[in-house]
Each structure stands twice: as structure tokens, then as C-alpha cells.
Amino acid sequence: MVRERTAVCLAGNHDLGVLGTLDLELFAGDAYDAALWTRGQLTDESRDYLAALRPAGVACGFGLYHGSPRDPVWEYVLDGWTAAAALGTANERHILVGHSHVALQVGVSEETLSGTGGPASPGTEVRLDANRALLNPGSVGQPRDGDPRAAWLAIDLDAGRALFRREDYPIAETQAEIRDAGLPETLAARLEFGL
């Protein structure tokens, strides 16, 4: 389970939809169906765990946001301008975001108003120096950048660097589980293509 393997966990828009904190009508067809299915699968213990999560937090000096500091639930950060605006509202020098599922690295120097950087390929290293940085590790499922492998970010606080990584995982097994659960076929199919 996630809670046994992580020290910090954030709530995302789908978690909030499953809990009923967000109206499921805000979700598109397949996402709506998956959230409704998930509601029926949750134990009381899992529901309580999700209910205790928030879409924003701080750990090891990093601002953590499902969406962004401006909108922790819904904002997609996919370009330098949005990243610079997000960093402009954050107290922390470096922030990590999610929501878009796309691995991203954007740096903003104190002298510029716009961010530089963009999608982060596996092996991209970012120095966590005096400049500000917004990083999105990508996603373990549905990375949405055409690379179906699980995306993650290794952060070495002592060395002051972050390294974008990709790993293979059993996509066919995951697809079979989605199909066996009776969930929409598109949710299974998209995993193969990283969409």
C-alpha cells in the first residue's frame, strides 16, 4: 500500500472526487467511471487515509503541490510562463508538482520573469542551486508524454541535484487488472502508449 511506502502523500483531484469532496460531474467519462468504481472498492480505513490527505504540503524544504501553488488541485503546469507564475506564489525555492503527469523541469532565475526548461527526458539532471526550480516527476501510470514507462524523480539533497528516471513495469499485467475490473477499455489501452 502507498501509505506503508511513503513518508509524504498528497491528495489529487481524483482522490478528492472519489471522496466526494469534488463533484464527480467535473470528471470526463472514463475518469468519472473509474472514480465511481473506486468509491465502491475503498475500505473504511482507505477512505479515512485519503480523507486525511491534502493537495499541498512541504517536505525537506520543497513545496509540494498536486496542481500548483496557485491552484493545488486543478492547475496544469506545462510551460515556463505558468511555472514562473507558480513559483512567484510559492514560499519555497523549489517546488514539486503533479497533475499533468508530464515530467517537467523549469528553472527561474531571480532576474527573469519567465522560466526556462520544459519536458524532462530520462537522465535529465537538475542542479538545485540558488535559482528556483519547478519539477514534475511525471507519473508512474499514464505519463501522458508518449513514453509508457513509469516516470519518477530521484532527489539527492546532499549533492543538491535531481535526476529524472524511467523504469519498465508490467503494463500488460496492469491492463489485465483494469479489464478484469470491468473498467473502460481506454483506461487499459492508453497505458501501452504513455497517453
Considering the domain architecture, whether residues 89 and 132 belong to the same structural domain is answered as: yes
Counting the structural domains of the chain, the total is: 2
Does the pTM surpass 0.85? The reply is yes
Q: Determine the pLDDT at residue 114.
A: 58
The C-alpha atoms of residue 70 and residue 89 are separated, in whole angstroms, by 6
Do 64 and 40 sit in the same domain of this protein? Answer: no
End-of-domain residue from the set 11, 38, 54 = 54
Both 36 and 70 in one domain: the answer is no
Claim to verify: residue 115 and residue 175 sit in the same structural domain: yes
List Cβ neighbours of 54 (8 Å cut-off, separation of 6 or more).
10, 11, 72
How many Cβ atoms sit within 10 Å of the Cβ of residue 29?
Answer: 9
Same domain, 176 and 85: yes
Question: Are residues 192 and 160 both part of a single domain?
Answer: yes
135 shares its domain with 188? yes
The domain spanning residue 133 has which CATH number? 3.60.21.10
Mean pLDDT of all residues in 5-29: 93
Within this chain, do residues 45 and 79 fall inside the same structural domain, yes or no?
no
92 and 165 co-located in one domain = yes
Average pLDDT over residues 114-124: 83
The secondary structure of 70-114 as a DSSP string is S-TTT----SHHHHHHHHHT-SSSEEEE-SS---EEEEE-TT-SS
pLDDT tens string 43-66: 999 999 999 999 999 999 999 999
Last residue of a domain, one of 54, 74, 92: 54
Identify the three-state secondary structure at position 21.
Answer: coil
Please give the residue range of the domain that contains residue 30: 1-54
Q: pLDDT tens digits, residue range 86-100? A: 998 999 999 999 999
**Alpha-carbon torsion angle 176, 181, 187, 188, nearest 10:** 10
Considering the domain architecture, whether residues 60 and 48 belong to the same structural domain is answered as no
Residues 121 and 39 in one domain: no
